[in-house]
Structure formats: C-alpha cells, structure tokens
Amino acid sequence: MKIKPLQISAHIILILGVLLMVVPIWISFASSTHDTVTILTEGMKFNIGEHLSRNYNEVLNEKGGWSEEVTAAKMFINSFIMALGIATLKVIISAMSAYALVYYRFKLAVPIFWLIFITLLVPLEVRIFPTYKIVSDLGLTNSYTGLILPLVASATATFFFRQFYRTIPDELLESAKLDGANSWRFFVDFLIPLSKTMIAAMFIFMFVYGYSQYLWPLIMTTSEKYWTVVMGMKIIFTESYEGVALPRTAERFAYIILSMIPPVLVVVILQKWFIKGLIQTEK
C-alpha cells in the first residue's frame, strides 16, 4: 500500500496534537518523581527519577493547611463528593426541567426556557456575593450541601435535554399514554432510557465542571475539612525558608498527577456512552 503525502501530513498534524496534549502531563509526571531540589536547580524533568514512591506517599498522607488538619486524600474525597453531587443533581434537574418545558405545553414554556438560557450570562463568579450571602444565611457554609447546592442548576444541560426531547416523536408519548403510562412513568420508562447517552455525556461535562471549581469552595469554606483539590493546589506543600514561602515543587507535581485521576476515571468509565451521545442520537 502506498502512503500518500496527504496521509503523511495528516498524521503529522495528529501526532503534533497528541504531543501537545501528552507532553505536559508527562513532564508533570516525570518531575513528580524527583526531589524538589533537583527540580529547582535543574528545571523540569523528562526522565523518571528515584523518589516516586516517597513523593506520592507524602502527598497522600502528610497533613497540610494552616492548622495542619487536612490531607490531600481528604481533599480528593471532598472534591469527588462535590463533583459527584453537582453532576448528579445537575443532570436530574436539567432532565426534569427540560421534560416540563417540552411536554407540558403551557403558555410560558418558551419565555421560561429563555429565562433559563439567559442564566448562562450570569455564572457563579458574577453572582458570588449574593450567593454567598444566601448560603451563609442558610447556615450552609462549611458543608457539602453549601458546596454543591448553588451550582446545581444548569442552563446548558437543560438546553441539550430540551433539544433531544424535541426530536422524540409525539406518537411515542401518545402510544405510551394509551398503554396506561402517566407523566412520571413516561419520563422514567421512556425519556431516561432513550437519553442515557445524553445523560452520560452531560454527567462527564458536569463532573469535570464541579471538580474544577475554584472560587466558590475558596470563598465558602473556612474549615479545612471542606477544602477541595483545586484550592489545595495553591496552599499545601509550601515550605517556609527564611521567612519566604517556597513551594515543594516535586510534591506539587505528584499532587497534580493524582488530582487528574478522578475525572479521568469518570471519563474512562462513561466514555462508551459519552462518545455515542456526542456523535449520534439513539432513537
């Protein structure tokens, strides 16, 4: 088989793309296996060093923070709970509100939909003070509920679910009605199984969104028990050296590598449905 020049150039572009994605991760990983002094003196590393197990052990078990109360492992758990809560609730709420918008033909459905859509223009960062006020008035600071609740409404997911539901033929609903299904049964027996690829895709997006939240957990947690991974990255593994805070670079790299694992796991587990959801609608 002859290789055409076009194929070669296409492959070069693809390989460059892959390198662009992979090399930074590799550098982080390789650097996380040296000690901090090596990195500070010699710069970042491409080869594997000798401190892999020591660094990772330290990251997982050492207590950090101002009052030395929190470990990285605890922060992973916090982030995981937050992301899981946000993704799950976002998917449920969006699917249900889209259901209401598409299948209950009341006059205000369209204005309400656009109202929901407009909230895309008002992300959490813009409304952070009112949000904080409400959450603190409710006494929810320093709690998982407080971390999750303000982030569970999603215009994007509502929009995607709405668009998907609109492609489902009316006859399906009518037929189900004649078969004795009420609104709830139609939602559970039809819309959810039919949109499971969509649900997987939305779940992944929303999980990553929840996992990478920075500002909100930073503002609403005062107790280190509720710190999340992304916040922790800036704060822990700092060493005081002659009154100057110096980062322990090697441990931080290890920490970064570990912080990638939960979202990667979610993607790997759900990718079969996720890809289907992006490229085809199963009907």
Partner 1 sequence: MSFLDLKNITKIYPNGTKAVHETSLSIDEGEFMVFVGPSGCGKSTLLRMVAGLEEITEGEITLDGNLINEVDPSERDIAMVFQNYALYPHMNVYNNLAYGLKNRGIDKQAIEQKVNDAAKLLQISDYLQRKPSMLSGGQRQRVAMGRAIVRNPKIFLFDEPLSNLDAKLRIQMRLEIKKLQQKVGVTSIFVTHDQTEAMTLADKLAVINNGVIEQLSTPIEIYNNPKSLFVAGFIGSPQMNFMEGELKNKTLSAEGFEIKNVKSDYNGEVTLGIRPEHLSQSDNGLINLTVDLVEQLGSDNLVYGQLKDKKDFCYRCPGNLTIKKGSKLSLNIDNDNYFIFDKSSGKRVN
What is the rounded CA–CA span in Å between residue 187 and residue 100? 10
Residue 224 φ/ψ region, left for φ over 0, alpha for ψ in the -120 to 50 degree band, beta for the rest? alpha
- Residue 128, helix vs strand vs coil: helix
59 is a site residue for partner 1 (CB under 8 A): no
Among 264, 205, 265, 232, CA closest to 78:
232
Residue of the chain from 43, 111, 169, 243 that contacts partner 1 (CB under 8 A): 169
What is the rounded CA–CA span in Å between residue 95 and residue 165? 9
Residue of the chain from 103, 117, 190, 209 that contacts partner 1 (CB under 8 A): 190
44 is a site residue for partner 1 (CB under 8 A): no
Residue of the chain from 39, 135, 152, 194 that contacts partner 1 (CB under 8 A): 194
176 is a site residue for partner 1 (CB under 8 A): yes
Is the Cβ–Cβ distance between 93 and 153 less than 8 Å?
yes
180 is a site residue for partner 1 (CB under 8 A): yes
Residue of the chain from 177, 246, 265, 271 that contacts partner 1 (CB under 8 A): 177
Provide the token pair at 207.
Answer: 């999980």
- Residue 68 or 189: the one with the smaller Cβ distance to partner 1 is 189
193 is a site residue for partner 1 (CB under 8 A): yes
104 is a site residue for partner 1 (CB under 8 A): no
Residue 199 phi, psi (nearest 5): -60, -45
Interface size with partner 1, residues (CB under 8 A): 19
What is the rounded CA–CA span in Å between residue 38 and residue 166? 58
Provide the token pair at 266.
Answer: 């979610």
What is the rounded CA–CA span in Å between residue 19 and residue 256? 19
DSSP code for 224: G
- Residue 174 or 239: the one with the smaller Cβ distance to partner 1 is 174
- Residue 241, helix vs strand vs coil: strand
Q: Which stretch binds partner 1 (CB under 8 A): 54-62, 137-145, 153-161, 190-198?
A: 190-198
182 is a site residue for partner 1 (CB under 8 A): yes
- Residue 41 or 182: the one with the smaller Cβ distance to partner 1 is 182
Q: Which stretch binds partner 1 (CB under 8 A): 84-92, 167-175, 201-209, 252-260?
A: 167-175
Residues that bind partner 1 (CB under 8 A): 169, 171-172, 174-182, 185, 189-190, 193-194, 282-283
